[in-house]
Amino acid sequence: MSQSPSPRELANAVRFLAIDAVQKANSGHPGAPMGMADFAQVVWCDFMKHNPTNPKWWDRDRLVLSGGHASMLLYAMLHLSGYDLTLEDIKNFRQLGSRTAGHPEYGLAPGVETTTGPLGQGISNAVGFALAEKILAATYNRPGHTVVDHNTYCFLGDGDLMEGISHEACSLAGTLKLGKLIALWDDNRISIEGKVENWFADDTAKRFEAYGWHVVACVDGHDAEAVRQALEAAKAETERPSIICCRTEIGHGAPTVCGTERCHGSPLGAEETAGARKKLGWSHEPFTIPDELYAGWNLRDKGGKAEAAWNETWDAYAKSFPELADEFARRMRGELPANWAEESEKFIAGVQEAAEDKATRKASQAALNGYGPLLPELLGGSADLAGSNGTLWSGSKHVTPDDAAGNNMRYGVREFAMGAIMNALTLHGGFIPFGGTFMVFSDYMRNAMRLAALMEIRAIYVLTHDSIGVGEDGPTHQPVEHASSLRLMPNMDVWRPCDTVETAVAWKCAIESVKTPSSLLLSRQGLPFMQRDEQQIADIVKGGYILREAEGGKPEAILIATGSEVGLAMNAADALAAKGTKVRVVSMPCADRFDKQDAAYRNAVLPPAVEARVAVEAGSTGLWFKYVGSRGSVVGMDCYGESAPGKVLFEHFGFTVDNVVGAVESVLGE
């Protein structure tokens, strides 16, 4: 080996770490890392601005590996270049407790910017990272003081391009002129079932040209110099995102399975591995990397110098613009303003004093008007439903292609891309994103919501029109199972507030929930205000609390309700009280939070001795039985809705005082 390793020799170090790790685990995807290693090495070593000793440097370039099955490509580069990822970590690939999971997982290995696995979401995350950079640069950079200036790179494959979310996100990226987004397409023409020509024959270059992207076509992905020239052209284009079409061979270097699906998702095996070593001239034992290659890969000095230069830029900026610098730094650290706690409590007290009857979607908009001026990091948006979702507030300013210094995104009818972009905005730092759509359309972005919960990051989903109260639009627009399905998702706070105060508290909790995304389920129709004392307001954050205590002694029965059905439960309790039945009403705006309270609190709200319980919610009934028990009952609906005015539908499906009273009396009779 020469004193200065060639690009091919550096790339082979990645190839064989990937081969050996997959072989040892007897599980994984060797073909993609082998095929992508040449162009990946050029990007990682020669073009990206990053510091292995500080993976969280604010102005680093971001790399998203959209095809997360190629995880060993990323792990190998992280290890070789000096990140805190050891050879033992590489050897423990795909093992229990390892930092090198089967697909890259945010928070495990340093340098993994986002969790990727479900195809298409990585490229959509990359759009979000590039959007974050553009907004922050437009907001904080000043003439002669450029503190936000980094690129987002993304490696993607045919599978990513087949997934519909890639269209949603890439279309938006072109419209927004995200010129610092550079995608490299691993054009190997192979997916799990074989050659893609029979099911994926798109002209990808023309597709991206139509989006408004800069396209560098027909690049030999195994030729380092060709890749270098393509990257230079992409970096020179600042008005359009770029895609570099890299023609590669999956499993490059494997003697018999290269270029076929046989090396996609299975270890090469001993014989094929030995053949690859011979073919590529790699004479080293498994997991052995020569010192010359480690030296060629090591980016610690280069990265440290790049960050040091930026620190000088930052110091000059902070001296010239101290208030801007303080705000930017606070946002990037993920800290709320110093006056947040006091001012948010004042706002909630004011909402309680105003005592307004209001649809919770309108109450949500009012909460944004209250909290928005305190939080420049709030970045809102809607999937073409801002007027209905109430996501626009008095201080909203649209982000546009030519003026990105705004705080509201018009995502268009792109729910899934909106969810994935919101994830990246959070991961980038500097933002608390929220996005709105009708609750029934949460299905479209559910997988992005799931990844937010999995990654333990803050994103806020404003999901309005939350029941049959939608009315005349009919069953296609009336969510029935959605609240329950969202509650089944681990680490997702699902709030269904009943009035203005619960809505304001739900927003406050969502903003403060750094490691938990929140879904706010909001009504289209107006809802009555509920009177509370200070203790009841304080207890809302616990997810469930006593809204009305039984008069004249211990309760004989408990009514549990959420959202628009809390008012119904209160009216039913009045009717029962008139008959001499002692009923407690529990409002449970967030069952997820209630379940996390200690047993003493939960038992105080729902005493085990009171077995007569009825839950009321205009949605699926199944999950409520864990609160009402075997003796209890649920007034809900396990069918689809109808097209009619909302009030007519509530009566038609049994959401009436008489029906709730009858359910309580039936339970008591048993």
Question: Which residues have a catalytic role annotated?
Answer: 415
Dig out the tokens for 144 from the structure. 């002669």
Q: Which residue shows structure tokens 């289209």?
A: 524
SS3 398: strand
Whole-number Å distance between alpha carbons of 155 and 70: 10
Whole-number Å distance between alpha carbons of 334 and 430: 7
Backbone angles phi, psi at 241, to 5 degrees: -65, 155
Q: 495 near 509, Cβ under 8 Å?
A: yes
Alpha helices per DSSP H over 287-394: 291-297, 300-320, 322-333, 340-354, 360-371, 386-389
Whole-number Å distance between alpha carbons of 547 and 532: 7
Closest CA to 502 of 463, 539, 535: 539
State the CB neighbour count (10 A cutoff) for residue 638.
12
Whole-number Å distance between alpha carbons of 435 and 390: 10
Dig out the tokens for 571 from the structure. 């009216």
Q: Amino acid identity of 69? A: H
Per DSSP, what are the bridge partners of residue 378? 432
Whole-number Å distance between alpha carbons of 289 and 29: 21
Whole-number Å distance between alpha carbons of 356 and 570: 17
Closest CA to 477 of 466, 486, 488: 466
SS3 436: strand
Helix axes 340-354 and 500-512, enclosed angle (nearest 10):
170
Residue 268: HSE in the Cβ half-sphere, 13 Å Cα cutoff: 30
Closest CA to 550 of 523, 574, 519, 526: 574
Whole-number Å distance between alpha carbons of 509 and 503: 10
Q: 517 near 459, Cβ under 8 Å?
A: yes
Q: Are strands 242-247 and 214-220 parallel, antiparallel or unpaired?
A: parallel
Whole-number Å distance between alpha carbons of 620 and 61: 45
Q: Which residue shows structure tokens 């209630």?
A: 594
DSSP letter assigned to residue 555: -
Dig out the tokens for 546 from the structure. 């006593």
Whole-number Å distance between alpha carbons of 518 and 510: 6
Per DSSP, what are the bridge partners of residue 635? 616
Closest CA to 361 of 522, 482, 497: 522
Q: Amino acid identity of 291? A: D
**Distance of alpha carbon 550 from the chain centroid:** 42
Q: 618 near 565, Cβ under 8 Å?
A: yes
Q: 13 near 87, Cβ under 8 Å?
A: no
Q: Name the CA radius of gyration of the chain, rounded.
A: 28
Whole-number Å distance between alpha carbons of 8 and 667: 75
Closest CA to 45 of 295, 310, 313, 309: 295
